[in-house]
Amino acid sequence: MKTVQVRVEGRVQGVYFRDYTRREALKQGVDGWVRNLPDGSVEAVVSGPEKAVEAMLDWFQVGSPHSIVRAVRVREITPPENYSSFEIRY
């Protein structure tokens, strides 16, 4: 199992980025959450099998159809909680 905290910068708000992130997370079988940040970026925590987490990190580089990803910052973390699904946080 691997857990990462991800911050995605660029045009990632107002383009359904969180919804597409959730869809991709369900497809990859990972748990965690995604939320918008006040500075216009998006933050996510992704937890699951290493291969699935790596697939999510690849997806973050491209993003949703109308997003423009400028930077993806990733750091591996110890899971702060036990996740059992992937949710959009507000």
d(CA 58, CA 84): 22
pLDDT at 82: 87
CA distance 69 to 33: 19
Average pLDDT over residues 13-42: 99
Separation of alpha carbons 53 and 85, rounded Å: 14
Domain assignment present for 90: no
Q: How many domains does the chain have?
A: 1
Domain ranges, residue 44? 2-79
Among the listed residues 18, 22, 70, 82, the single catalytic one is 18
| Spatial separation of the C-alpha atoms in residues 32 and 4, rounded to whole Å | 9
pLDDT at res. 31: 98
| One-letter identity of residue 32 | G
Q: How does pLDDT run across 37-46, given as a tens digit for each residue?
A: 999 999 999 9
Q: Is residue 30 part of a domain?
A: yes
> Residues 32-79: pLDDT tens digits?
999 999 999 999 999 999 999 999 999 999 999 999 999 999 999 998
pLDDT at 80: 81
Q: Do residues 44 and 34 make contact, with C-beta atoms less than 8 angstroms apart?
A: yes
Residue 68 falls inside a structural domain: yes
- pLDDT of 81: 80
Active site residue 18: yes
CATH number at residue 55: 3.30.70.100
Residue in 11, 36, 75, 82 annotated catalytic: 36
Identify whether 65 is part of a domain: yes
**What does the pLDDT average to over 10-24?**
99
36 is catalytic: yes
Read off the tokens for 22.
């959730």
Domain-located, residue 13: yes
